[in-house]
Amino acid sequence: MDELASVDLEIPLAKYEYLDHTADVQLHAWGDTMDEAFEQCAMAMFGYMTDLERVQVTQVHHIEAEGDDMESLLFHFLDELLFMFSAEPYIVAKKVKITEFDREGFKIKATAYGEEFTIGKHTQGAEVKAITYSAMQINDRPRVERPEIFVIVDI
């Protein structure tokens, strides 16, 4: 719990939205930095599964993800977080903070702050079954106003 005491757990304004997509949902997330856009995409996924206002921070989980390029890195990052939610003890994150982001080696280390998902306490939104590569976009070019991400998840 010492790790929790030193972390700013204030939840920033959401920088994501849900876009209609046939039989799936498209997550659209953005941020001032690519780190923040990845974090917001993770929060969009968790927010689609449950009301994050009801989630308390009682546990800390560390995840690592690697890829061959930015798209596969994003895929594996979200997949690791989805696994954290889908396997016992079913952790739902209220906040995800990237602690290391290697854009050349395509590696991420992140910390998820949340608690065990409990039916009755937490609302049940749509079940995210899988992350997909379908229409995945990561926009971080110099002329882009802000880094943004589009990811379709299978529900």
Task: For the chain, state the CA radius of gyration.
Answer: 15
Which CA distances in Å does 110 have to 34, 36, 97, 134?
A: 14, 12, 6, 24
Which residue segments constitute the domains of the chain, with CATH numbers given?
20-154 (3.55.10.10)
Round the average pLDDT of the chain to a whole number and report it: 92
Which residue reads 């899988």 in tokens?
130
Residue 21: per-residue pLDDT: 66
Amino acid 66 reads E
Quote the pLDDT of residue 1: 56
> 5 pLDDT exceeds 80?
no
| Confidence check: pLDDT of 121 > 80 | yes
Task: pLDDT band for 117, please (50, 70, 90 cuts).
Answer: very high
Stretch 59-70: mean pLDDT: 97
Q: Please state the φ and ψ torsions of residue 114, each to the nearest 5 degrees.
A: -175, -145
